[in-house]
Amino acid sequence: MEIYLDNSATTRVLPEVKDLVVRAMTEDYGNPSSMHRKGVEAEQYVRRAREQIAATLKASEREIFFTSGGTESDNWALVGGAMANRRKGRHIITTAIEHPAVIQPLMLLKELGFDVTFLPVDGHGLVDPAAVAEALREDTILVSVMYVNNEVGAMEPVEEIGRIVKAFDPSILFHVDAVQAYGKTEVIPRRIRADLISVSGHKIHAPKGTGFLYVREKTKIRPIILGGGQQGGMRSGTDNVPGIAGLGLAASIACADIEAKAGQMRALRDRLAAGIADIPDVRINSGSGEQSAPHILNASFTGIRSEVLLHALEDKGISVSAGSACSTNKKLPVSPVLKELGLEKKHLESALRFSFSTLNTEQEVDETVRALHELVPVLRRYTRH
């Protein structure tokens, strides 16, 4: 029995999405920039996907730009947004637990002369909106806060932060990395007052290498990929028609009955948390309730290194993660996110992330709980002290 509990790393492509992608690759394979019939057919896939995604955001189709995924969307939002507004100022605000796809572009901007403020978070991974308000300055041009943290599932108060930012200065760009939020909770740009929102396809059962950036109309942002002038000159490069088609369908499916789906995932998450609660020396690092995402549970199994328990579970057909999968470093460095939460070393070194999708079942959770009850005492017995 294969049990896949690493859906925050990537998800399995839905069968109907796969079928649409294959059709766009093998039958309607034209270049959407071409004027002949094959090109028009391909363009219709792109147009339909843009309509589907805009509907999920209650946004205009003109505000949707397709990218290669969350990393490109984050890079474009930050670098393109900062460069377009640098005459107004060079101050940027973010949090200390952002994804590397946000942190690294901001480090580049620092090298280019921008001033970046990294705000701390509390023990649950939440940034204080009052700290954002205090950090705002006359030369602030961009605020970037993730919607859901990818390691512990903290749901940041982006709606309140958006109100604070826009009340201070409506011209400040507000960017929200919604890679772990989209398809798990309603993401409505107007509600959170976001100018830029990043989304990745492979987190919502679409193909890898797909994503989009929501850009509010009249937002000042420079393109960072230049060439043939596709997507109105905002993001050049031949459209990935099969991927875009799959992304549109997956987005439509993920956001339909979203509250019911979120409730299903939260029930599985809570079932796992309750099932491991009576294992001695287990620490739940994720929060609970509305301030925590429905699909992520991070827990430390004190006395066992993360990679040891991860591989022991893998031997039983259970796939989990030891932090973010968005790194080529397989040696599992200590998570900077968990360090920011103030965890002790013993908890940092023993943390695992379990992440769910609607494809998971109660039976899979119960089997995982049984495996952990069996493995943890045995592995602790053989741990060197």
Question: In 3D, which of 167, 136, 141, 135 has the Cα closest to residue 87?
Answer: 141
Q: Is there a catalytic annotation at residue 255?
A: no
- Torsion sign over Cα 118, 123, 124, 127: negative
* Helices and strands (H and E) in the chain: how many: 14, 12
Q: If DSSP codes are grouped into helix, strand and coil, which group holds residue 287?
A: coil
129 within 8 A of 164, measured Cβ to Cβ:
yes
DSSP letters of 176-227? EE-TTTBTTB---HHHHT-SEEEEEGGGTTSPTT-EEEEE-TT-----SS-S
255 within 8 A of 183, measured Cβ to Cβ:
yes
Supply 265's token pair: 């995932």
Dist CA 46 CA 300 (whole Å): 44
Question: In 3D, which of 336, 382, 55, 89 has the Cα closest to residue 188?
Answer: 55
Nearest 10 degrees: Cα torsion 106, 111, 114, 120: 50
Pairing of strands 91-95, 282-284: unpaired
Dist CA 93 CA 78 (whole Å): 11
What is the residue whose two structure tokens read 């100022």?
A: 89
Supply 338's token pair: 């968990």
CA 310 to chain CA centroid, Å, is: 22
The number of CA neighbours under 13 Å toward the Cβ of 332 is 17
Query: Which is catalytic among the residues 225, 279, 326, 379?
Result: 326
Q: What is the maximum span of the chain, computed from C-alpha positions, in angstroms?
A: 70
Residue 256 identity (one-letter amino acid): A
Dist CA 233 CA 213 (whole Å): 14
Dist CA 302 CA 308 (whole Å): 12
Supply 117's token pair: 């403020």
Q: Which residues are catalytic?
A: 326
